[in-house]
Amino acid sequence: MTAITDSGTTPRKATRPPSDNRQRVRKYTSDQVPLGSLLLRLLAGLVVLVVFLLPYLIMFFGSVKTKAEIRSVDPTYFPTEWHWDNYVTMWSTPETPLAQNLISTLVISLCATLLVLAVALPASYYTARFRFRGRLLFLFLVIVTQMVQPAVLTSGLFRQFIALGILDTWAAMILVNAAFNLSFAVWIMHSFFAGIPKEVDEAAQLDGAGTFAVLTKINLPLVWPGIVTAVVFTFVASWNEFAASLVLLTTAGNQPLSVALTKFVGQYETSWHYVFGVSVVAIVPVVILFMIIEKRLVGGLVAGSVK
């Protein structure tokens, strides 16, 4: 009976990859698509490309205009002169200490990322590998924290951090960013750990490796993509955080760029060229980071519900 079931399943498994391949070939070659519809797709793709990049192109072109040009009553689409020196002078604009804001953003994001990694890595490994009482409750708690965002809790956090004496410190925002991005990190790494066959662990344990050694020597190299995804996502999310920083960081120099830049709005003479220069500097690196983890972004956010 067992033999029949086995031989019954083996061919099905064996035929799967070819059928996947066929699907792949059909999906990705364009020679079967009529030229008309291919051109239509190309056109639609071009429109999407332009629409999604437009705000950032306006940002970039604006960042090299002079203040007079960006505030001229008959605005120009492209800069008449390219003032790259804006990228040097913008750091000493009087509205807000932008250089300090950049340092704050960097320190908060890096520390929050390290904290998330230190806390989420063991948790995701253990919950993926071992069954224990309270495991589902823990994972449920993690899902709920992803959905409850800091914005709705700022009034509580504000009073709590006053009481702890860490209001208006980097530590406050490091904790907030770490706590609210923990969920993504736990889920994405959990799914990678769960994908490693248990036999791999057992073989290592037979060779005398302890749980910690199994994690660091055997599992880590295999879940590396998951770790990179968790690190990048946490870093970018902390980099862009706004609502909690707005309330919890009260001194101008402690604030991240996202909060600092809002101070330019509604000024009598807004230095938009500087706003855009700083935006370009803040956006380009995180866009590149996001592109690295593009394929795995959804997995951590929807907690394994879309496969």
Considering only residues 203-222, where is the footprint of another protein by CB under 8 A? Answer: none
Binding positions for another protein, 67-86, rule CB under 8 A: 70-75, 77
Instruction: Name the token pair of 211.
Output: 């749980």
Work out which of 184, 261, 274, 300 binds another protein, going by CB under 8 A: 261
Tell which one of 110, 114, 247, 252 touches another protein (CB under 8 A). 247
- State which residue, 2 or 305, has the beta carbon closest to another protein: 305
- The minimum distance between CB 198 and another protein, in angstroms, equals 15
CA distances from residue 123 to 92, 128, 138, 163, 199 in whole angstroms, order as listed: 44, 8, 10, 29, 20
Asked whether position 36 contacts another protein by CB under 8 A, the answer is no
State the chain's maximal CA–CA distance in angstroms. 84
**Of 228, 279, 234, which Cα lies nearest the Cα of 102?**
279
Task: Quote the least distance from Cβ 246 to another protein, whole Å.
Answer: 7
Distance CA 86, CA 281 (A): 12
Contact set for another protein, span 217-246 (CB under 8 A)? 236, 239-240, 242-243, 246
Q: Residue 71 and residue 81: Cα distance in Å, rounded? A: 14
Of 108, 175, 214, 227, the residue at the interface with another protein (CB under 8 A) is 175
Site string for another protein, 96-115 (x = CB under 8 A): -------------------x
Which residues, in sequence order, are CB contacts of 273 under 8 Å at separation 6+? 62, 63, 64, 65, 66, 67, 70, 83, 86, 90
Is residue 290 within the footprint of another protein (CB under 8 A)? yes
Candidates 80-88, 90-98, 200-208, 265-273 — which segment interacts with another protein by CB under 8 A? 265-273
Angle between the N-to-C axes of helices 220-240 and 98-129, in degrees from 0 to 180, rounded to the nearest 10: 140
Which tokens in the block code for residue 56? 């950032």
Q: Give the binding range for another protein (CB under 8 A) out of 87-95, 199-207, 221-229, 298-306.
A: 298-306
CB of 2 to another protein, least distance (A): 26
Length of the chain: 307
**Smallest distance from the beta carbon of 302 to another protein, in angstroms?**
5
By CB under 8 A, is residue 28 in contact with another protein?
yes
Residue from the set 179, 196, 213, 218 that interacts with another protein by CB under 8 A: 179
Position 66 contacts another protein (CB under 8 A): no
Judged by CB under 8 A, which of 9, 10, 15, 30 binds another protein? 30
Secondary structure (3-state) at 70: helix
- Site membership for another protein, residue 297 (CB under 8 A): yes
- Nearest distance in Å: CB 106, another protein: 14
Round to whole Å and give the CA distance between 27 and 113.
38
Burial 89-113 (b: 16+ CB within 10 A, else e): ebbebeebbbebbbebbeebbebbb
Query: Does residue 127 touch another protein according to CB under 8 A?
Result: yes
| Single-letter amino acid, residue 288 | I
Q: Which residues contact 173 (CB under 8 A, 6 or more apart)?
A: 108, 112, 238, 241, 244, 245, 248, 249, 256
Q: Which is nearer to another protein, 1 or 78 (CB)?
A: 78
Q: First CA to last CA across the chain, in angstroms?
A: 33
Q: Which of 93, 100, 154, 216 binds another protein (CB under 8 A)?
A: 154
